[in-house]
Structure 1
Amino acid sequence: MAFYNKIKWILGILMIFVLIISTNLIDKNNFVRVRDSVVTIYEDRLVAKELIFEMLKSIHQKELAVSVSDTTFFNTQNAKVNNTLQALVSRFEQTKLTSEEAKVFSDLKKNIASLVAAERQVSNSDYGTNPQIGNHIEKLKDNLNDLSKIQLIEGSRQMSISKRAVDTVELFTQIEIYILVFLAILIQIIVMYKPKEKA
């Protein structure tokens, strides 16, 4: 009977071991999802939001200069603002873009190129009166506004993913506790069960 008891103990321990390993693997997967979601929220949403804000500041500088026909700005600072815009666009390109975001971002790049081209064609005195420059600035503001909205939507989606993953971890923890209690009772029954010996 000693051999039979050893088998019972081994089976009982193996059942617990398999349960713990499987729940740990599920928990690990969910924690990876939470980590990836948090990283995405920071790198691809908050950083992107900051870049959008910086681009909008540069566009507002141009808009202000156009509205007051500030030729000094266009002669001295406009090239620097254009370089800043290009640097911000390059940094934004490095974030992970959704398909919707990629479309808007592509449109933004075209509008920046169109604005810079329009600025080159206009003489100093025409900056304030040329409707093309104002139109390009408005399009850029619309693009940046759309990108900003996408950041909020995607940030919310990532938070939802992480919340679902945490909820799943909590659910599996509860299930694990119930199964462990059941297995403990089952092991007790197996260990204490003694078959009747035949006479």
Structure 2
Amino acid sequence: MKWTYRIKNKIIASVSLLSLCVLVLISNYIDRNHTENVKNTIGTLYEDRLIAEGYIFKMSNEVFRIKEVLQADWGKTVKTDKIGTLNTNISEKNAAYQKTKLTAAEKSKAAELTTTLNRFMDTEIDQAQQKLKAADEALAILNELSVIQLEESKQIMNQAEKLYLSGKNSSEFVFAIIIIILLVLQAMVFASKTLKPTNRNMPHNLN
């Protein structure tokens, strides 16, 4: 019944080869999918965190500069012009920051920041103490927003690391199965060789 064994081997070989092809395709899909996910995660880190942090840093810098102007021994007209320019810069940066992707905690703080900045910019230069107090409040809120950015960035990086490890483990698992299938096919090749009839020198019948 060697022919049944050979047919069985051919069926197993065909299924194994088909499985091998499917696994290669699955492995390729998993790799591309995880690569895209990691890419999107890194993109989120840049677009939603680093850019937002840049706006926060620039607003903080502008507020510090206004404090320096208020504390400088200049005339009121010079201070008004200088602070007016800085106020415009702050308003532009805040408007751009508000358009970034914000978490619930950030939205609450961002609204508080806008209110404080409006009060800060509406306060007359003659009311230096009140303006300086509003500036300190704005800086405190900006610092809290910066801390939130840092925490969110850490979470994004942790997510990216998990995605990377998940993709690595999946690829290793698929690779291990491919190796097993190749070993099975190799064993079948050796087994089929042992079943081949050997040529023997048959004695000639003498008449």
- TM-score of the superposed pair, with normalisation by structure 2: 0.79
- Which is worse superposed, 104-113 or 28-37? 28-37
Q: Quote the offset at 1:144 in angstroms.
A: 0.7
Using the TM superposition, give the Cα deviation of residue 27 of structure 1 relative to its aligned residue in structure 2, in angstroms: 2.2
1: distance between equivalents of 2:73 and 2:110?
29
* Aligned-partner SS, 2:123: helix
Match of 2:201 in 1: none
> What stretches of structure 2 of length at least 5 have no aligned partner?
196-207
Match of residue 175 from structure 2 = 177
What is the rounded CA distance, in whole Å, between the counterparts of 2:78 and 2:14 in structure 1? 82
CA apart distance, 1:9: 3.7
| Cross-structure match for 2:66 | 62
Residue matched to 1:48: 52
2:79 maps to what in 1?
74
How far 1:149 moved relative to its partner?
0.9
Alpha-carbon distance between aligned partners in 2 of 1:19 and 1:66, rounded to the nearest angstrom: 69
Query: CA offset at residue 6 of structure 1?
Result: 5.4
Q: Comparing 29-38 with 138-147, which one deviates more in the overlay?
A: 29-38
Query: Is the deviation greater in 76-85 or in 4-13?
Result: 4-13
RMSD, aligned CA = 2.4
Aligned to 1:135: 133
The 5-angstrom pairing of residues 1-199 of structure 1 reads 7-68=11-72, 70=74, 71-119=76-124, 124=125, 126-128=126-128, 131-189=129-187
SS at match of 1:77: helix
| Number of residue equivalences | 188
Unaligned runs of 5+ in 1: none
In the superposition, relative to structure 1, how do residues 176 and 43 fare at CA in structure 2: closer, same or farther (>3 Å)? Answer: same
- Describe the superposition over 1:3-52 as per-residue Cα deviations: whole angstroms up to 9, x where unpaired: 76654443122211222222322222221221012112222222222211
What do the CA deviations read for 1:134-193 (whole angstroms, capped 9, x no partner)?
A: 221111001110111112111111111111111112212221221111111233455666
Q: Answer with 1 or 2: which has the greater Rg.
A: 2
Larger RCO of the pair (alpha carbons < 8 Å, separation 6+): 1
Match of 2:205 in 1: none
> How far did 1:54 drift?
0.9
Cα displacement string for residues 61-104 of structure 1 (whole angstroms, at most 9, x for unaligned residues): 22122334642443212221111111101221232112111111
Q: Which residue identity does 1:87 align to in structure 2?
A: E
SS in 1 for 2:119: helix
Q: Is the 8 A contact 1:8 1:191 kept in 2?
A: no
| CA–CA distance in structure 2, aligned partners of residues 7 and 83 of structure 1 | 77
